[in-house]
Structure 1
Amino acid sequence: MHRRLLLSVSAAVLGLSLAGPVRAQAAPTVIRIAAPEQGASGQQSFPGSTPLAVAKLRGLIEDEFRKDGIKIEWTLFRGAGPAINEALAAKQLDVVYLGDLASVIGRARGLNTKLILPLLRGSNSYLAVAPGSDIRSFADLKGRKVSVLKGTAYQRPFDQLLADAGLSEKDVKLINLDWPGSKAAVLNKDIDATFGGNDLNLLTDKGVSLPVNTRGKGPAYTIQSSVLATEEFTRQYPAHTTRLVAAILRASHWASEEGNREALIQLWQQASGTPAAVFRAEFEGSSLRERNSPLFDEFTRSAYKGVVADALRLGLIKQGFEVDTWLEPRFVNEALRQLKLENYWSPADKDGRLIKG
């Protein structure tokens, strides 16, 4: 009996020793990352004004995984959030960069994602009108041809600004058009106006004007963007998820240093093709550290809960979900610990005010 017990224990120990390395060696051969395309004039471009653009141009994610032989595959989607959500549903992606509304719509419709890294907060939106147009406010949009890419983060502030003017989407001739197509259409006067991001400033030297934007209107009008991963990826490769987050956080830290502001803007210009002046205007008066905060603080939680509530109210989703269980802060928390950046960013309250601590 004693001998059988020893053999049993030895077998169990051997089994554990064999199982351990097998689990440790489990790794993806490729990490498939996607982001929206924001190009113009037929040129494909990566979204600027984010730490992810810094990470991509500097090859920080590739450097992290090169020693393991893991390939990083980037895909830009002209159809932005809706197209990325379709690719997620088809299991063609592992990690994505999305604005708040698109990520909420995807989750509400059953995509098994986890929000693993808040990336950029407080982004503004702009109304661009065709050359020679007399549109000066949202009230002037009544009966006009206006494009907005539905299912993206811009639809939410667009609808809110319409409501502020006593209008709804039914009061305009709304056209669902991707961002490159919208730029061409407004420039050619095929539509009267389009609503989108700061890349619309690319058109101002061609006679397009931007009479309305969301600067200074408060958190309810701004857009938050984050990095999401599939639940399958985070469950199967938790250590690799942390390493991915840490690589992007290195970019977030560099992008948060005020001394790097001009170098950061130049890099964003390189990534997106958008003139540096556009980024200077967008971030004028803003703290880089606050805009690039990766914290799962009260602001992040409140902002995404607000997006879910607004999406339900606007009929963009049929049912809500528990935001707190969707947010997955453990990878950021561990990466911050490893990088010794636990106290670098300060948490903010629901209104975006820093919490003194």
Structure 2
Amino acid sequence: MTTTRRRVAALLVALGAGLATATGAAAQAAPKEFRIGYQKVGVVVVARQQRTIEKRLAPQGIAVRWVEFQAGPPLLEALNAGSLDFGFAQAAGSTLVYVGASVLSGDGEAIVVKAGSPIRTVADLKGRTVAVGRGTSSHNLLVTALEKAGLSISDVKPAYLLPSDAGPAFANGSVEAWVIWDPYLALAQAQNDTRILTTSRQTHAVSDFFLASRTFADRYPGIVTAAVEGMAEAASWAEVHRDQVAQALATVTGVPYAIEKGVADRTEFGVGPVTEALLAKQQATADRFHRLGLIPRAIQVRDAVWTPPRT
């Protein structure tokens, strides 16, 4: 499984969703609460601020609960445990299904070193200590970049840290490189002593995938569809209102507007179905993570793509 950045890519514990179980031929009752795991990035922040999902579910009397995570792996754990109904991350697993995706990302994820570092290329990372979130999209970026440089993950010294710990480690020199996503990347760049070795666009463009538990998606397809449509509405708005997106991000993250403006300007907003191109990318990631032992068995990503029932 891979997660997104930031993103992306999770999150929670049982929050009392109030899921009702129908018996016999009775119709499945709607849940009282729809639980969404998220990270404070991009279109997710816009959707939450504008209540695009809430507005679609309000007529059914369904409340939306948003649960924040710092990174993707914890979010996925919460989804797998049944503590969430819907999440934003990249993953593939037996209990989770892909219900939608964002467009391929831009340059909002990168491998960085200090400006004065003797490390000039990805190949120079050999033998160096690199901070990266285990199982995140940044982990995927690091492995892919190393492979393109003729190296493997065993050629570096990974320091598996979440951003809250990796940032200080990078700042004080405890690690020599950092693989990170926005807004942490933008914050590091703002220090004027950071140099980029490669970005996700240059190495391995990624997408945010929207996930749901298979049981929930099959039981409540209308709710899942409404959530994806709400995200698509927010993405369309964000694409032409980047200043407002930056302000929204600055408000919820505490990151200065000028920095979040740079993040918004280099983010590609768009939400749609899981296309063949995205499937191929995610399958390559799944295969790579299986080789690394992060996924215990080989998987076929296509098997985890959810198809809404025809109405």
Please confirm whether the aligned pair reaches a TM-score higher than 0.5, indicating the same fold.
yes
Matched, 1:306 2:284: yes
SS state at 1:223 partner: coil
Q: In 2, Cα distance between the equivalents of 1:276 and 1:295? A: 31
Q: Tell me if the contact between 1:34 and 1:76 (Cα under 8 Å) persists in the aligned partners.
A: yes
Q: Tell me if the contact between 1:30 and 1:70 (Cα under 8 Å) persists in the aligned partners.
A: yes
Q: In 1, Cα distance between the equivalents of 2:75 and 2:302? A: 23
In structure 2, the gaps of 5 or more residues are 1-23
Aligned match of 2:209: 226
Aligned match of 1:197: 181
In the superposition, relative to structure 1, how do residues 216 and 308 fare at CA in structure 2: closer, same or farther (>3 Å)?
closer
Give 1:81 shift: 2.0
Deviation per CA, 1:297-331: give whole Å up to 9, x if none.
Answer: 33222222222232234443232333223112437
Q: In 2, Cα distance between the equivalents of 1:239 and 1:211? A: 43
Aligned match of 1:242: 225
Matched, 1:326 2:310: no
The alignment yields a C-alpha RMSD, in angstroms, of 2.8
Equivalent residue in structure 1 for 2:170, among 160, 176, 186: 186
In the superposition, relative to structure 1, how do residues 129 and 62 fare at CA in structure 2: closer, same or farther (>3 Å)?
same
Aligned match of 2:48: 56
SS state at 1:96 partner: strand
Equivalent residue in structure 1 for 2:248, among 234, 257, 267: 267
TM-score by structure 2 length?
A: 0.80
SS state at 1:154 partner: helix
SS state at 1:117 partner: strand
TM-score by structure 1 length?
A: 0.71
In the superposition, relative to structure 1, how do residues 221 and 278 fare at CA in structure 2: closer, same or farther (>3 Å)?
farther
Equivalent residue in structure 1 for 2:198, among 205, 208, 213: 213
Aligned match of 1:317: 295
Give 1:280 shift: 5.6
Higher helix share: 1
Letter in 2 for 1:236: R
Aligned match of 2:147: 163
Matched, 1:73 2:65: yes
Q: In 1, Cα distance between the equivalents of 2:81 and 2:266? A: 42
Aligned match of 1:253: 236
Q: In 2, Cα distance between the equivalents of 1:73 and 1:303? A: 31
Equivalent residue in structure 1 for 2:76, among 78, 81, 85: 85
Q: Tell me if the contact between 2:247 and 2:260 (Cα under 8 Å) persists in the aligned partners.
A: no
In the superposition, relative to structure 1, how do residues 146 and 281 fare at CA in structure 2: closer, same or farther (>3 Å)?
same
Letter in 2 for 1:318: P
Identity percentage of aligned residues: 26
In structure 1, the gaps of 5 or more residues are 1-18, 37-45, 335-357
In the superposition, relative to structure 1, how do residues 268 and 329 fare at CA in structure 2: closer, same or farther (>3 Å)?
farther
Range moving further from structure 2, 166-175 or 223-232: 166-175
Q: In 2, Cα distance between the equivalents of 1:73 and 1:285? A: 29
Give 1:294 shift: 0.9
